[in-house]
């Protein structure tokens, strides 16, 4: 260190200033670059920490969730549960029995190893209040195997006595 | 490579100019007890004015006073005794002083005579009491003096104070590398002398104003050096930080691998949870849209016509309606709020057009109050 000090002090003033400025410039550039990388690294650390903590919580509650799932289907008769095809077929039958037009989107499925929940968006255009109500009652009778999760009713523009119904209907399927 | 060689060679000795002892007259003066360095400086200036035939401004002078000593050794030389050639290099030197002063920092006991040779002659320092010499005597030698002459002169100087122990060095002092930055070191044969910077500053005989300028420049250089050191330390810190970042990146990769490995399992659990919730909702929490619509229809004013009704969650119903009466929405809201099954009613998006008011009623029902029924 003494040698470096002597070397530094023995330089001309302009050389000393240039040395200090050069080192300062390097330090500033490095510091700016380093702080941005540190901040990115810190953000990554926090994200992974939170994700790991969440994963840990989910893994810790695995057993209780599996038990809850078993409890949830305990009172259901596997024979009466409906897959997506049966769900659409059942709803079409109910609508046909009441002379209702029936339109449906492709069913969506959430599936675990043992259960599945199928959801279908159904539109019934230009139905009368009583008929729609009867359709609703018929669907409700299939509870808890079929359930309405979203419902919307709008007056038809051309004839306000008629209603357009839109329903999101789900069914439970016990896979085994 | 030159820079590397400089560092490998270690710190070079400071540039010190040792002046011939013969041009200086010396006196030992008594220092008042408890004097500070500043007081001593004033006392030396006063002594010089008394002792010297020349005013202090025409002298190169310095003094030796280790803090706390009872005496100070003052030395001075008439400026005109130095040629311009001799003055060359003084500006860049760390220290300019008489040759004998270099050895004043040696380990010298009381009652000792130290004899120092130089090209011009011999200098004897008589120490009655350490550490300040009582007397300094210079004996000039002829250029053609032989060894016997030098030996005789040494003996004469040594026996001048017979009670003293004589220490004779056979080589003039030279500056050597000091063990630390706070000292200046000299060596003459085996005899070493270490002068603290606080003491050596007073030994410097240069013009005091010029010396003050040099000191200011040195302080500025030291400040630059400290700034340079701080920046270098920052660079080292940043380098250490880079290693930490590297380690953190490795650790983060391990954690990401763990997250990726666990993700499918966690997603299966989350799906199981979601499906279980859906099954539970289907089994135990039925959406009752018609029952809710019929509840809302109960207190409906005649002027209000429903356009659209849609459920929001399990217990919410948004009804878009129109009315010819501007007071109808608020009256209807009040009537709905009075229903026991209704928790909250809000009227939103009121718009008037062609004497027709459209609005939305956001109705929230109390959970589990409405029961499935036959609301015909």
Number of Cβ within a 10 Å radius of residue B239: 12
Whole-number mean pLDDT of chain B? 88
Q: Which among A76, A150, A172 is the nearest to B311, CB-wise?
A: A150
Report pLDDT for B264.
92
Region B310-339 average pLDDT? 91
* Residue B342 pLDDT greater than 80, yes or no: yes
pLDDT digits (tens, 9 = 90+) for B86-95: 888 888 888 9
Report pLDDT for B353.
84
Region B211-217 average pLDDT? 86
Residue A88 backbone class (left: φ over 0; alpha: ψ -120 to 50; beta: rest): alpha
Tokens of A158: 């051309």
- Residue B85's pLDDT band (boundaries 50, 70, 90)? confident
Nearest C-alpha in A relative to B92: A10
CB of B293 less than 8 A from some CB of A:
yes
Length of chain B: 376
Report pLDDT for B14.
72
Q: Which among B232, B256, B293 is the nearest to A23, CB-wise?
A: B232
Greater confidence (B277 vs A56) lies with: A56
Report pLDDT for B302.
86
Query: Can the peptide bond before residue B131 be classed as cis, meaning omega within 30 degrees of 0?
Result: yes
Nearest C-alpha in B relative to A141: B372
How many CA atoms lie within 13 Å of A63's alpha carbon, on the beta-carbon side?
1
Q: Give how far B165 is from chain A: nearest CA, Å.
A: 38
Question: Between chains, do B235 and A24 touch, taking CB under 8 Å as contact?
Answer: no
pLDDT digits (tens, 9 = 90+) for B245-257: 999 999 999 999 9
- Residue B375's pLDDT band (boundaries 50, 70, 90)? very low
The CA distance from B48 to B76, in Å, is 8
Report pLDDT for B10.
52
Cα–Cα distances (Å) from B196 to B64, B178, B200, in that order, read 11, 10, 6
Q: Distance from CA of residue A84 to its chain's centroid?
A: 21
Report pLDDT for B363.
94
pTM > 0.90: no
The CA distance from B89 to B227, in Å, is 28
Report pLDDT for B11.
55
First to last CA, chain A: 78
Lowest mean pLDDT among B22-36, B162-176, B275-289: B275-289
Vertex A97: Cα angle to A93 and A102 (nearest 5): 60
pLDDT digits (tens, 9 = 90+) for B298-321: 888 888 889 999 999 889 999 999
Query: Can the peptide bond before residue B186 be classed as cis, meaning omega within 30 degrees of 0?
Result: no
Q: State the Cα torsion B297-A154-A105-A172 to the nearest 10°.
A: 0
Contacts of A151 in chain B (CB under 8 A): 287, 289, 310-311
Chain A interface mutation, best of B13, B277, B278, highest count of A Cβ atoms under 10 Å: B278
Report pLDDT for B28.
93
> Is residue A133 helix, strand or coil?
helix
Q: Give how far B231 is from chain A: nearest CA, Å.
A: 6
Region B63-87 average pLDDT? 91
Nearest C-alpha in B relative to A114: B272
Count interface pairs A-B at CB distance under 8 A. Answer: 185
Question: Between chains, do A152 and B309 touch, taking CB under 8 Å as contact?
Answer: yes
Number of Cβ within a 10 Å radius of residue A139: 19
Greater confidence (B185 vs A112) lies with: B185
- In order along its 176 residues, chain A shows pLDDT tens digits of 777 887 888 888 899 999 999 999 999 999 999 999 999 999 999 999 999 999 999 999 999 988 888 787 777 788 888 888 989 999 999 999 998 898 989 989 888 777 888 999 999 998 999 999 999 999 888 888 888 989 999 999 888 889 999 999 988 888 76
Burial zone of B142 (CB within 10 Å; 0-12 exposed, 13-18 middle, 19+ buried): exposed
Chain A, 122-151: which have a CB under 8 Å from a chain B CB? 130, 133, 136-137, 140, 143-151
Question: Between chains, do A27 and B238 touch, taking CB under 8 Å as contact?
Answer: yes
Q: What are the backbone angles phi and psi of residue B178, rounded to the nearest 5°?
A: -85, 150
As for the ipTM of the complex, it is 0.72
CB-based contact B122:B116 (threshold 8 Å): yes
Q: What are the backbone angles phi and psi of residue B36, rounded to the nearest 5°?
A: -95, 175
- Residue B220's pLDDT band (boundaries 50, 70, 90)? very high
């Amino acid at each position: 260190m003494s040698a470096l000090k002597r070397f530094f002090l023995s330089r001309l003033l302009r050389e000393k200033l240039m040395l200090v400025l050069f080192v300062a410039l390097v330090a500033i550039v490095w510091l700016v670059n380093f702080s941005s990388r540190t901040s990115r690294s810190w953000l990554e650390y926090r994200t992974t920490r939170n994700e790991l903590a969440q994963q840990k919580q989910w893994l810790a509650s695995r057993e209780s969730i599996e038990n809850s799932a078993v409890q949830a289907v305990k009172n259901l008769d596997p024979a009466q549960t409906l897959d997506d095809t049966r769900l659409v077929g059942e709803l079409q039958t109910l609508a046909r029995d009441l002379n209702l037009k029936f339109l449906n989107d492709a069913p969506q499925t959430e599936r675990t190893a043992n259960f599945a929940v199928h959801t279908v968006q159904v539109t019934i255009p230009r139905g009368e209040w009583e008929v729609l109500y009867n359709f609703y009652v018929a669907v409700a009778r299939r509870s808890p195997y079929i359930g309405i999760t979203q419902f919307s009713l709008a007056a038809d523009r051309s004839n306000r006595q008629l209603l357009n119904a839109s329903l999101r209907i789900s069914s439970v399927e016990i896979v085994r | 490579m030159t820079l590397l060689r400089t560092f490998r060679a270690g710190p070079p000795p400071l540039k010190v100019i040792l002046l011939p002892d013969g041009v200086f007259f010396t006196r030992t003066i008594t220092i008042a007890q408890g004097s500070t360095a500043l007081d001593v400086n004033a006392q030396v200036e006063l002594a010089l004015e008394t002792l010297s035939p020349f005013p202090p401004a025409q002298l190169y002078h310095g003094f030796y006073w280790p803090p706390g000593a009872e005496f100070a050794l003052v030395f001075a030389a008439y400026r005109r005794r130095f040629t311009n050639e001799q003055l060359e290099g003084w500006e860049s030197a760390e220290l300019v002083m008489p040759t004998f002063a270099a050895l004043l920092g040696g380990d010298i006991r009381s009652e000792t005579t130290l004899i120092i040779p130089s090209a011009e002659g011999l200098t004897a320092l008589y120490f009655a009491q350490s550490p300040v010499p009582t007397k300094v005597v210079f004996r000039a030698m002829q250029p053609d003096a032989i060894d016997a002459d030098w030996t005789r002169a040494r003996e004469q100087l040594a026996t001048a104070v017979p009670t003293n122990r004589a220490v004779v060095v056979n080589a003039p002092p030279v500056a050597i590398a000091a063990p630390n930055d706070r000292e200046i070191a000299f060596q003459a044969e085996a005899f070493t002398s270490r002068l603290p910077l606080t003491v050596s500053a007073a030994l410097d005989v240069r013009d005091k104003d010029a010396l003050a300028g040099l000191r200011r420049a040195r302080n500025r250089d030291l400040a630059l050096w400290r700034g340079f050191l701080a920046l270098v330390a920052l660079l080292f810190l940043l380098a250490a930080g880079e290693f930490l970042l590297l380690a953190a990146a490795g650790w983060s990769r391990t954690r990401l691998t763990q997250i990726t490995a666990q993700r499918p399992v966690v997603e299966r659990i989350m799906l199981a949870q979601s499906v279980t919730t859906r099954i539970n909702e289907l089994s135990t929490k039925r959406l009752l849209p018609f029952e809710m619509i019929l509840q809302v229809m109960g207190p409906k004013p005649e002027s209000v016509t429903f356009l659209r009704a849609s459920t929001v969650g399990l217990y919410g119903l948004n009804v878009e309606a129109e009315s010819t009466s501007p007071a109808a929405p608020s009256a209807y809201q009040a009537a709905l709020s009075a229903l026991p099954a209704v928790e909250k009613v809000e009227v939103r998006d009121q718009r008037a057009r062609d004497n027709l008011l459209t609005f939305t009623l956001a109705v929230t029902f109390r959970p589990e109050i409405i029961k499935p029924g036959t609301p015909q």
